Structure 1
């Protein structure tokens, strides 16, 4: 939690009509000082947090000195979704998780940027849940982002996503060991049958017939249980089903056409959660209306989690976008 900072938000009106009298918004800043360089906002995924780079950074392969999002040239801001537990304060966990939507989180992040006197950003980027938040941030303020980069995600929750959110929610609310059991199911969604079969090949750990695949899955579950809170898991999972930039707005093309940013859609060819074909449909629709829409695809056996693994491919995709190196761009203070 090095350099973790806090913004106090008061009397925040949720999309559901309820009001939150107090919300602490925790964040970290990496790279150049605020106001001195182009700003990149990185939105974390379901079990992620603001620690995107440096010690224990979950995206060190992408963000950092001499990396594609180069902290020698950019100011990187990463907010924690309120209630994710990264601050370690149990009082900041959220029990009434169904009161919140992705739109609320996007509005909270914009409130944070306003507090930091950031009026415009060079890029907003995020994967999975974080990518969904990027879409909503752009829909809320379509003129304040130069580059919108949603990765392994979508602008809406499909029926497939909603169905899997329901399964996760049922496990989280009814299992005797909810975090571990929910993680077993989620981990298989984040990978592929090809990866699992190729890696484990029905091999055993010992003479007692403990299978390596079972040990691997249970290990993922236990590790998450040791670092993650049940309330946080329930909230993050629920947010996925609330993803829809057209809710109480016009149709998708009307909303997206207002977004001034260059839109870089990045998919994983083997993603079994946010399937690539949905993003290809989005690209076909958008590119017929807008010139600054681009489609990129990571090829990987790893599935949804490839954006956390295939750093070389992702860097090659991102490099032309972030090849700033002193060129004129938006700096806000």
Structure 2
């Protein structure tokens, strides 16, 4: 399977630069996998496609203000640091620009010394391991000095940083938002629960994989970066009960999907309380074991995300839907519109 199999023409002006004022007013394309029908709605209409007893699975990861601007102590050179993954204690895997300026032993200061980092290891593709030194609580210092790490295709400044955060974000640790969840408000979630639809939470901290494009021609040789996930005993029991009743499990986003499929792939679809690291890469053909429906945003051409969506449905049908989205001027990617596959 070639990377060109997942290409389509995306005009740059369709990549959403700012979030809508009302999260739920984004457009919603509904795809029926059985009859290959395509319908156009707004996101607040998603409730009409959910039935009592179904379960929405949300990723409750919280995005860190993970972009830091610092200065090398020895030369005064400016560097940009993007936190990716906390390894242990105060050691983090990071991306640095320009990476060539930072070697093992390099010391970087941020915010006039409020935060100091020492490079303790180097990795490929600009990756480094930094050990941080500070007074107080790390996340409070980071909240003061860091910026929200918007993807590189978003050129506009974000006026309210909470808009790159889901309303149910709880577990700090992501370098990027699980963007399918950005469409929900507390009010919409309350209406969904009042209808008898269950809400379940899992955690996957979005890391380097979000920023790494597929650079190989043969899709099957692409390697995903591992990301930390967690499912509690409560969520596992809840999802197993939904399955036993014959109701649908609808995953909100590709991150929730990858977590659910990671846990279910070796158990025949049974959920267990687990945590660990997953590098699962889902592309056609893939036999899904965990989910019955998927809410997701519109993704970029040739991305691992459009490959996952194609695996859940049918590549030709998905590309037809994407071309229709371009024709109808849907907004793409992080702050864009949504798709529901059932």
Q: Which has the higher strand share?
A: 2
Greater C-alpha radius of gyration: 2
Higher relative contact order (CA 8 A, sep 6+): 2
Q: Does the TM-score normalized on the shorter chain lie above 0.5?
A: no
TM-score (normalizing by structure 1):
0.27
